[in-house]
Structure 1
Amino acid sequence: MVNILEDYDGQFLPKVETERLILRQRTVEDVEDLFSYASLPEVCLPAGFPPIATLEEEQEYFENKYFQNLAEKDLPSGYGITVKGSNRIIGSCDFNHRRADAVFEIGYLLHPDFWGKGYMPEAVAALIEVAFTLLHLHKVEIRCYSSNQPSRRVAEKLGFTLEATIRDYKDLEGNRVDELVYGLLKREWEER
């Protein structure tokens, strides 16, 4: 169940409701919630970026760089994930890269307190629906390290096809890992 609760203005994705979650725009008031998981190595390193060092760094990024980066990459804003009944941001799901020919890459993070509850597949399924119904994309991709089992499970659970393995990719800690590229075409999503 995905209910789109607002109109899409071309920049800010509309608020979305799923069975257990609300996906909404993040605001400066959410910075402490964002920092609570974006500062954790166990969340950030498997996703391929360094943890945020300080709350001030997160505040600075959100106030001064986040929307600028979106504009430079020609991407819509993404979502903060909340559990119904709470306004606390527990994770995020975004389009983090635009590729040619109406193809966006999806990225996501979740606070460890909420791992193993099925929230991320639910949130990403909603983002995929927005991608294909509002943004009229042709395809969405998920990239993750082969060692990131939770991220792999999200892609596989949502019907993505493993399209490529980029061997011996160097992660942020200098380890050699395989990077997996998963893809889901709009027509495959419609046929599910």
Structure 2
Amino acid sequence: MTIYTKRLAIRRLDLNDYTEYAALTAHKEVASGAGFDLISNPQMIQSALKRQLKASGTLGIFRGSKLIGAILLFERVGRGGRPDPNHFEISYFLAPDCWHTGYMSEAITGLLPVLRSASEIRSLIAEVFTDNQQSLALLKRLHFRFKAELRDPIVGRRKAIFELELK
């Protein structure tokens, strides 16, 4: 299924999209924000990207036929360490030349009605580094509520956690 907005198309990515996805995540700014820069072994990066492309929640954001960004949806880990199909985590990124265009706001706004219609999904959690002012503003515009702030144990940077109730 493809979701169309005024300027974009959002669809599930797969292994056929690997070359474009790898190029997108290779941007220094994208790699840093998404944590890809923490992986120094090129084979590990390829493996991680291919795992993401195999996941059903990996969605591409297209302007025309060009992949300009992605939205990743993962089931949160619930009680007992098992995936919780009622609560998802959302992360996202855009090619730097598409920043400050409203594309991510448009893409997530287009996706939300689909997520709301999925009867099992009750909420979305988003984690964002606190120095990423644009992403913080985006989550607030989309009515995500601030839940907590913490230090990321892997990268040592402050991040804020937001939640959006879908039901």
Number of the residue aligned with 1:17: 4
The answer (yes or no) to whether the contact 2:147–2:162 under 8 Å persists in 1 is yes
Residue 42 of structure 1 corresponds to which residue in structure 2? 29
* Identity fraction in percent: 25
Q: Residue in 1 aligned with 2:126? A: 142
- Cα deviation, residue 98, structure 1: 2.3
1:113 to 97, 110, 128: 97
Partner of residue 52, structure 2: 66
CA 21–56 in structure 1, closer or farther in 2 if over 3 Å, else same: farther
- Cα separation, 2, equivalents of 1:16 and 1:52: 32
Confirm or deny: 8 A CA contact 2:125 2:163 kept in the other structure. Answer: yes
2:164 to 178, 184, 189: 184
Aligned length: 161
Q: Find out whether 1:90 has 2:68 as its counterpart.
A: yes
Conserved in 2, the CA contact under 8 Å of 1:93 and 1:127? no
Deviations 1:118-162 (A, max 9, x none): 001111222322222125311111111111112212211101110
Aligned to 2:81: none
Q: Post-superposition shift, 1:50?
A: 2.5
Q: In the alignment, what sits opposite 1:28? A: 15
**In structure 1, C-alpha distance between the alignment counterparts of 2:49 and 2:66, rounded to whole Å:** 17
Tell me if the contact between 1:128 and 1:140 (Cα under 8 Å) persists in the aligned partners: no
* CA distance in structure 2 between the aligned counterparts of 1:41 and 1:24, rounded to whole angstroms: 24
Letter in 1 for 2:70: S
Question: For the Cα contact (< 8 Å) 1:39–1:53, is it kept in 2?
Answer: no
> Would the aligned equivalents of 1:145 and 1:177 in 2 still touch at CA under 8 Å?
yes
How much is the aligned-residue C-alpha RMSD, in angstroms?
2.6
Comparing both structures, which one devotes a greater share of its residues to strand? 2
- List runs of 5+ in structure 1 lacking aligned partners: 1-13, 71-75, 188-192
102-111 or 38-47, which deviates more:
38-47
Give the structure-1-normalised TM-score.
Answer: 0.71
TM norm structure 2: 0.81
Contact 1:78 1:94 in 2 (8 A): yes
Contiguous gaps of at least 5 residues in structure 2: 79-83
2:38, 2:4 → 1: CA distance?
Answer: 29
Runs of 4+ with >4 A deviation: 51-63
